[in-house]
Chain A
Amino acid sequence: MKRHLLEAADLDRADATLVLDTAAQIDQALAGREVKKLPTLRGRTVVNLFYEDSTRTRISFELAAKRLSADVLNFSAKGSSVSKGESLKDTALTLEAMGSDAIVVRHSASGAPHRLANWVRGSVVNAGDGTHEHPTQALLDAYTIRHRLGRLEGVRVAVVGDVLHSRVARSNVRLLHTLGAEVTLVAPPTLLPVGVGSWPAEVSYDLDVVLPKADVVMMLRVQAERMNASYFPSAREYSRRYGLDARRMGALGDEAIVMHPGPMNRGMEIAAEVADSVRSTIVEQVGNGVSVRMAVLYLLLGGAPS
C-alpha cells in the first residue's frame, strides 16, 4: 500500500483486494460482538478535515476510526481557504503539529488532497475532492458488489447519471476496471466529460439498451439545478430518459442489483419503489462504508494484517 489514498489509481489489484479482504475480516471479527471495537489504532490520531458539508461521509469515517480505537478530531472548515483566510497549507501544518497520523479530507477543489499530501508527513485519505475522486466510495461499492454477487471479475456495471461532475463515477471506473469488472457509463452526452473516450469504460446514451445486460446498476445523484446550465432541458425529461423506475427495473436480470451512493433524489434519478426494492443495496452500502474505511485506516496506519 502507498502511504496515501488519493485516488483509485493508487491501488493496484493486489492492494484493492487486500482492502476488501481486510474489510471482510473486520466484519467477521465484529459480527455478533456486543463491543464493536478493535484496539488496533489506540493512541493514533485521525483528523477529519471537511471543507464541504458531508455528514454521511464524515460520520462514516468517524465511526471507522473510533471502532479502531483511534482518537478522532473533526475539523470543519467550510468555505474555500482563500475566503476564510487560513490557507489549506497552514491548516495542514497546524493539524500535523498537533500530532495527527492521518488526515481524512473532503474538499470542493479537485486535487486538494494531492496538495495536502505534499505538506504533511502523515497519511492523507481522500474523502471526496471536487469533481475528481472519492476512492473509499468506490471501495465500498466494490465490496458491496462482491458481497452480493460473489465476484467482481467480469461483472457488468452500468454507471448512470451525471458522470461529468461525479467523483464517485471517476473512482468507480478506475477501481472496477482494476478489479476486472466491465463498466458502461450511461448519460446524456452533456453529462459526460470530453475525453471520456480515454477511460477504461464503454459509453452509452441509451439506458434501456444497457439495462438487460447489467449485473449492477449504479445510479448517480443528479442535481436538478444542472438544467439551468442546459445540461438537460428539465428534471422531468431527465427522469424520463435516464431515471430508474419500476418499469425499467423489470428489464434487469434476476440477480441484478441497484446501487446509489446517496443522498438520493427520489423521483429524479431513482423511483421510490426501486430504492426500496430487494435489489437495492443502498442501506447495505452505508454499513459497508464503515468496514471498508476501517480497513483503509488500518492498512495505512497499522500495517498489513498478520
Chain B
Amino acid sequence: MTLLITGARPYGEDAADILVEDGRIVAIGEDLAATGAEVVRAAGLVALPGLVDLHTHLREPGREDAETVETGSRAAALGGYTAVHAMANTDPVADTAGVVEQVWRLGQQAGLVDVVPVGAVTVGLAGERLAELGAMADSAARVRVFSDDGHCVADPALMRRALEYVKALDGVVAQHAEEPRLTVGAQMHEGDRSARLGLTGWPAAAEEAIIARDVLLADHVGARLHVCHVSTAGSVEILRWAKSRGVQVTAEVTPHHLLLTDECAEGYDPVFKVNPPLRTDTDVQAVRLGLAEGVIDAVATDHAPHAVEDKETEWASARPGMLGLEQALSVVVATMVETGLLDWRGVADRMSARPAAIGRLDGGGLHAHGRPLAPGEPANLLLVDPGTRAVVDPAALASRSRNSPYAGRELPGRVVATFLRGVPTVLDGKAQK
C-alpha cells in the first residue's frame, strides 16, 4: 500500500510531502508523486511521529465496563498515539506471562495501536515478593517496563532487588512514588485547600521521599529507574539533582498535572480526584519547566477510565483517576507549545522518542516506535491541526468512560489523522475501525 501525505509540516517546519510504502516512510520532500497512491491532503497540518504513552489503564481484563483494550486503543489512536503501555493493575493482575500475553494479543486484534503490557513488579501488586519478571520479559509481550502502579513498591529492600533484577532483562522499574504511611486516607494535595475542605491531605513529601530514596538506590545498584506521574516542584528538584549526578533515572508527567491545580477540588466533584493529587500552581509551573528542560523526560497520560458509579459518589468513596488519551496532545499544546516552552520537535521528543526509548520500543525495525520522521523509518505518525480549538465533550469521547477532567474546557490542537505503520487508524478525526 502506498500513501502520499501532501503539504504537511513535519515538526511544524517547512511544508513537505511524505511518501509511505509498505509501512515505511520512503521519502520526504517537495512535490513528491506516486501513481496509485492514496493521497491525504495535509496542508497546514503539523506532522509528528506517532505518540507513545508509558502509562495507560485499559482495565481489561476485569473492568471491561470502564474500558477495554479495544476502546482504549481507539481513544489512543484518536489522541495521536501509535503505542501505549498498559498498566498491570487489572483483575487478574498482569503479573504472569499469561496475562501480559492476553493483553498484548487483544491489542494486536484491535489493531489501532501497539499495546505494550507493563508487568507487575510484585505478585498481585501486594508489595511482598517479586513476580516472575523474566517470564514476562521473555513472553510474546516482550515486557520491559515493570510497575506496581496504583501502589508504591514501598519496601526499600524489595525495591532494591527489583531494580537490580530487571537489569538482566534490559528492563526498568516504573515507580508510583507514594510513601503509604504518609498518605493513609489521603484525598487531595495537603495544603491550604485541604485544610479548609476537610479532606485528608496527601503531602508532597510522600512523593518526594520515595523519589529521593529510589534515585539513591538506583545509583547504588547501577539500575534504571523510571518515576511515574511526577507532580511536585520538590520532585523536579530531586530529579534534577539525580540526573546531574549521572543516575539512570527518567520521569514522566501527566497532562492533568501540567494543566490543573487543587483548586479543582472545590465543589467536591470526584472527577478531579486523582492519585497523585492535583497540586498547586507553583507545582504546575515547576513540572512544566522540568519537562521543557528535560529533567522530566516524557508526558504520560495515566489515562484512568472509571465507570459512572465509581465517580458519581462522595469524594472519599470515589476511585482516583481521570481520562487522558484523547486530550493529551491538546493539553501539551496549551501548556507547553502555546506558552513557548517547547517547540514541535520538543513535543515529539517528550511524547514519542523519549517514552519509546524508556520502554525500549525504539529498536526492532518496522515494529519500532518513537523513531524520527525520516526515510526508512516506520510510518508511525500523526497530523495535528494546531489552530483549531474545541470544547471537550465527554459524551463524544471514544473511551468507554466519561471521567474527563477537561469537560467544558476549550483546548487547542485537533488530531486529524494517525497512521500505524502506514495504515490510517484515524482520518478526518475519525477512528477507522
Q: Which residues of A contact B (CB under 8 A)?
A: 80-82, 87-89, 107-112, 114-115, 129-133, 167, 170, 193-199
Contacts and interface: CB of A to CB of B under 8 A. Distances in A.
Contacts of B430: none
A195 B195 contact: yes
B314 A81 contact: yes
Given A81-B317, A111-B197, A194-B203, 5 more contacts: A108-B316, A109-B315, A131-B199, A193-B201, A199-B196
A89 B268 CA distance: 14
A254 to B, nearest CB: 35
Interface stretch (B38-46, B186-194, B207-215, B283-291): B186-194
Contact of A109 (B191, B201, B203, B314): B314
Contacts of B268: 110-112, 114-115
A194 B186 CA distance: 13
Nearest to B199: A110
A247 to B, nearest CB: 32
Closest 8 CB pairs of A and B: A111-B268, A132-B198, A195-B195, A109-B314, A193-B195, A110-B198, A198-B192, A131-B198
A87 B315 contact: no
Contacts of A194: 190-191, 194-195, 201, 203
Contact of B190 (A82, A89, A131, A195): A195
24 contacts: A80-B314, A81-B314, A87-B309, A87-B312, A88-B313, A89-B313, A107-B314, A108-B316, A109-B315, A110-B198, A111-B199, A111-B314, A111-B315, A111-B316, A114-B268, A130-B199, A131-B198, A132-B199, A170-B198, A193-B194, A193-B195, A193-B201, A195-B191, A195-B192
B364 interface: no
Nearest to B265: A111
A87 B313 contact: yes
Nearest to A174: B196
Contacts of B200: 131
A82 B315 CA distance: 12
A130 B309 CA distance: 21
A195 B193 contact: yes
Interface of B: 187, 190-201, 203, 267-269, 309, 312-317
Contacts of B201: 193-195
Contacts of A82: 313, 317
A96 B75 CA distance: 38
A115 B311 CA distance: 11
Nearest to A80: B317
A148 to B, nearest CB: 28
Nearest to A130: B198
Contact of B194 (A80, A133, A195): A195
Contacts of B313: 81-82, 87-89, 115
**SS of B interface (majority):** loop
A133 B190 contact: no
A114 B316 CA distance: 13
A199 B316 contact: no
A288 B317 CA distance: 34
Contacts of B316: 108-111, 130
Contacts of A132: 197-199
Contacts of A107: 314
A45 B208 CA distance: 52
Contacts of A108: 316
Contacts of A193: 194-195, 201
A196 B199 CA distance: 13
Nearest to A164: B195
A31 B407 CA distance: 54
Contacts of B203: 194
A115 B192 contact: no
B197 to A, nearest CB: 6
B198 A89 contact: no
A198 B193 CA distance: 9
Nearest to A51: B314
A196 B195 contact: yes
Contacts of B267: 114
Contacts of B315: 109-111, 115
A199 to B, nearest CB: 7
Contacts of B187: 110
Contacts of A130: 198-199, 316
Contacts of A88: 313-314
Contact of B195 (A80, A111, A114, A199): A199
- Which of the listed residues A82, A111, A130, A195 has the most CB atoms from chain B within 10 Å of its own CB? A111
B314 A198 contact: no
A220 B201 CA distance: 21
B314 A115 contact: yes
B312 A129 contact: no
A197 to B, nearest CB: 8
Nearest to A108: B316
- Which of the listed residues A80, A114, A129, A195 has the most CB atoms from chain B within 10 Å of its own CB? A195
A193 B192 CA distance: 9
A194 B201 CA distance: 8
A112 B314 contact: yes
Contacts of A111: 197-199, 268, 314-316
A254 B203 CA distance: 44
B244 to A, nearest CB: 30
A88 B267 CA distance: 16
A199 B198 CA distance: 13
A132 B195 CA distance: 9
Contacts of A198: 192, 195-196
Contacts of B199: 110-111, 130-132
B274 to A, nearest CB: 16
A272 B199 CA distance: 33
A152 B197 CA distance: 25
A196 B203 CA distance: 14
Nearest to B316: A109
A197 B190 CA distance: 13
- Which of the listed residues A87, A109, A114, A167 has the most CB atoms from chain B within 10 Å of its own CB? A109
B262 to A, nearest CB: 11
A199 B201 CA distance: 16
B120 to A, nearest CB: 26
A199 B192 CA distance: 8
Contacts of B198: 110-111, 129-133, 167, 170
A108 B267 CA distance: 17
Nearest to B270: A115
A124 B195 CA distance: 23
B196 A195 contact: yes
A107 B316 CA distance: 11
B57 to A, nearest CB: 20
B311 to A, nearest CB: 11
